[in-house]
Structures are given as C-alpha cells and as structure tokens.
Amino acid sequence: AQKVTQAQTEISVVEKEDVTLDCVYETRDTTYYLFWYKQPPSGELVFLIRRNSFDEQNEISGRYSWNFQKSTSSFNFTITASQVVDSAVYFCALSVYSGAGSYQLTFGKGTKLSVIP
C-alpha cells in the first residue's frame, strides 16, 4: 500500500520568510511519480511539479524549489521569500501503477500555509 505523510498540518510565516513543506512517502514500487499541488481557497488544484523515481535531481522554478531524496523517501518543497499569494493548502501526492494501464494517486493530508503580511 502507498502512503504519503505531510506531518505539518498548518504553518504560518511572515511575508518574505522562506518556508519548507515536508513530504515523506512509502511505496514498494520501484517506478513511481511524485507530485506537489497547490489548492487555493477556490478549491481548484494547481499542478506545481512532477518527479519520477529515477530522477533525483533537485529543481528550482522561480521562488519554488524541490528536494527529492530517495534515501529518506522525502520530497520536500521550499518557497523562498514567501508572498501572501502563496497562502493555500499544499498537497504532496504519490502515483504508482494500479493496473489496467493507469496509475493511481495517493494524496497526503495537506499542509495549510498562511503567509502573513
């Protein structure tokens, strides 16, 4: 069975601070994909990044960066110089093959980030 743990339920930071959201996953599959999504108050999921299990290269996109470490089964997400618009719930998710040609996503419980002006 797959499992995604986001231990931080809620985080509050002051604007311009850096913040890291933690994600730890469990799976026995050797091929899998990891995702981060942002869910603002409107509810729509916004895709942020996808990583496959064979690519441990860290990635930076503007103020966002991701640290994937297979040795610790972690896929952490850092926002640099946070802004009020970053306030949202962030979900980490794990995708593994479920048969019949499709993959199934397992979501973590989410971390609610509040950026205070």
Partner 1 sequence: GAVVSQHPSRVICKSGTSVKIECRSLDFQATTMFWYRQFPKQSLMLMATSNEGSKATYEQGVEKDKFLINHASLTLSTLTVTSAHPEDSSFYICSANPGHGFSYEQYFGPGTRLTVT
Residues that bind partner 1 (CB under 8 A): 33, 37, 42-45, 47, 50, 52, 91, 95, 97-98, 100-110, 112
Cα 10 from chain centre? 14
CB of 50 to partner 1, least distance (A): 8
Nearer to partner 1, 46 or 81 (CB): 46
CB of 105 to partner 1, least distance (A): 6
Nearer to partner 1, 28 or 117 (CB): 28
Nearer to partner 1, 43 or 62 (CB): 43
Compute CA distances 16 → 26, 63, 84, whole Å.
32, 11, 9
CB of 2 to partner 1, least distance (A): 11
Query: 3-class DSSP state for residue 72?
Result: helix
Compute CA distances 25 → 22, 91, 93, 110, whole Å.
10, 12, 8, 13
CB of 44 to partner 1, least distance (A): 4
- Cβ(90)–Cβ(110) below 8 Å: yes
Which amino acid, 32?
Y
